[in-house]
Amino acid sequence: MSIARRRLAAALGALVLLLLPGPATADLSPEERTRILRHGPWPPPWRPDGGNRLSGDPAAAALGRALFFEPRLSADGAVSCATCHRPELAWTDGRTRSVGLAPMDRNAPSLLDARGRRWLGWDGASDSLWAASLRPILEPGEMGGTPGRVAALLREDEHLSALHRALPARAAPEDETGLAVDAAKALAAFQETLVSRRTRFDRLRDGLAAGRPDAAAGYPADALRGLRLFVGRGNCSLCHAGAAFSHGEFEDVGVGYFLERGRVDPGRIGGIDRLRASPFTRLGRWNDGGDARPTRHLVARHRDFGLFRVPSLRGVAATAPYMHDGRIPTLEAVVRHYSEIDEERLHADGSRLVRPLRLSAGEQADLVAFLRTLTPE
């Protein structure tokens, strides 16, 4: 071959590499396709929360944003929501367990996509985003605030009171608790605007939905193998279901529930007790409407002990460490946990949904590569 022809061949080879459509999706079975399609589309449709008269209101979101970064809500004037939900850390704090006025027992979840959740908190102690936003203000070890302190800020601070006056008025007179609830509803309206961006996975998924032969263009081959494990032998989709990669309910995957000094985190069963004891639920007078049936029909069962809410996996690469108490530091270690899960530690007496998967090192790496494609680049 002449030098010119060799150069031409090399150039053609490079061109072919550039145009390659990524890993082939042709060998996905119809069943695999169906399962993959169920994880979208993203973002999902959303309707304002009927329980929050300020839901979806831009003026309320503006007040909520100001309150989110406001340390004067707390007893010592030093802790704001953003102390533990830092925007630059995907609305987490990067810590194992959060520290407010006192150390907490749990890891701070991201607030992205919180607007779609029926139960909030790892134990589901809140049944609305607004109630989950009031709880940290009033919790003694978290921000240690009071309705009186919140009301004073809304009445007396020039900037905050102007933002508050711009909101639709309530029928009832504005007592301190009512003002604190308004603050929480505005905080919820702000958090409703925090929706995670589309990812490489979404491009693949929508390409498959549209029947495009190049659906996997630019999608890593190892991630595609990991995705097949996720919806297949790994059984991950069973709980990490749907577009949000969570069915939103509570499960046990063998993460310990012992805290130090012989204390345990009771998980869901404690969450149901806390929900029942709170005046700030969908059944209470501060709620504005919407569907209260899930709360009304809640029954605590013995098997709820030690269950935690299935977390969404969107954006998961940005929210280490993992699990309700942050005890697992990396995604690699989470996948190893599922691979080697200790069945002795699964205590729920209901149906057993997880088994040690005994994945090879390559399969574990593939699953991690897939999980990384659920986070925007």
Minimum separation from the CB atom of position 85 to ligand HEC (A): 6
- Chain centroid, CA 212 distance in Å: 30
244 binds ligand HEC (CB under 6 A): no
Minimum separation from the CB atom of position 190 to ligand HEC (A): 8
Of 185, 225, 240, 268, the one binding ligand HEC by CB under 6 A? 240
**Contact region for ligand HEC (CB under 6 A) — 146-154, 160-168, 212-220, 237-245?**
237-245
85 binds ligand HEC (CB under 6 A): yes
- Nearest CB to ligand HEC, comparing residues 21 and 32: 32
Of 55, 57, 122, 151, the one binding ligand HEC by CB under 6 A? 122
DSSP letters, 179-216, are HHHHHHHHHHHHHTT--PPP-HHHHHHHHHHTT-TTTT
84 binds ligand HEC (CB under 6 A): yes
Angstrom CA distances, 282 to 50, 181, 262, 375, stand at 10, 13, 34, 32
What are the tokens at 211?
Answer: 């029947």
Residue 282, C-beta contacts closer than 8 angstroms, at least 6 positions apart: 51, 127, 128, 290, 291, 292, 295
Of 186, 272, 334, 348, the one binding ligand HEC by CB under 6 A? 334
> Could you tell me which of 216, 213, 214 has the C-alpha nearest to residue 201?
216
User: Would you say 216 and 169 are in contact if contact means Cβ atoms under 8 Å apart?
Assistant: no
Minimum separation from the CB atom of position 155 to ligand HEC (A): 18
Of 316, 317, 318, 369, the one binding ligand HEC by CB under 6 A? 316
223 binds ligand HEC (CB under 6 A): no
Total of chain residues touching ligand HEC, rule CB under 6 A = 54
341 binds ligand HEC (CB under 6 A): no
Of 179, 222, 308, 317, the one binding ligand HEC by CB under 6 A? 308
Q: Is 43 helix (H, G, I), strand (E, B) or coil?
A: coil
50 burial type by CB count under 10 A (0-12 exposed, 13-18 middle, 19+ buried) = middle
324 binds ligand HEC (CB under 6 A): yes
User: Would you say 103 and 261 are in contact if contact means Cβ atoms under 8 Å apart?
Assistant: no
259 binds ligand HEC (CB under 6 A): no
- Buried (b) or exposed (e) across 326-345, using 16+ Cβ within 10 A? bebeebeebbbbbbebeeee
Q: Is 177 helix (H, G, I), strand (E, B) or coil?
A: helix
Q: Which residue has the tokens 């002990």?
A: 305
What are the tokens at 76?
Answer: 């010592």
Minimum separation from the CB atom of position 236 to ligand HEC (A): 3
Helices (H) and strands (E) in the chain, counts: 14, 2
Q: Looking only at residues 6 through 65 of this chain, which bind ligand HEC when binding is defined by CB under 6 A? A: none
278 binds ligand HEC (CB under 6 A): no
311 binds ligand HEC (CB under 6 A): yes
- Nearest CB to ligand HEC, comparing residues 53 and 115: 115
- Nearest CB to ligand HEC, comparing residues 101 and 217: 101
Using CB under 6 A as the criterion, which residues of the chain lie in contact with ligand HEC when the complex forms? 79, 81, 83-85, 98, 100, 104, 106, 108-109, 111, 114, 117, 120-123, 125, 129, 132-133, 136-137, 142-143, 187, 234-236, 238-240, 251, 253, 255, 308, 310-311, 313, 316, 319, 322-324, 331, 334-335, 338, 353-354, 357, 367, 371
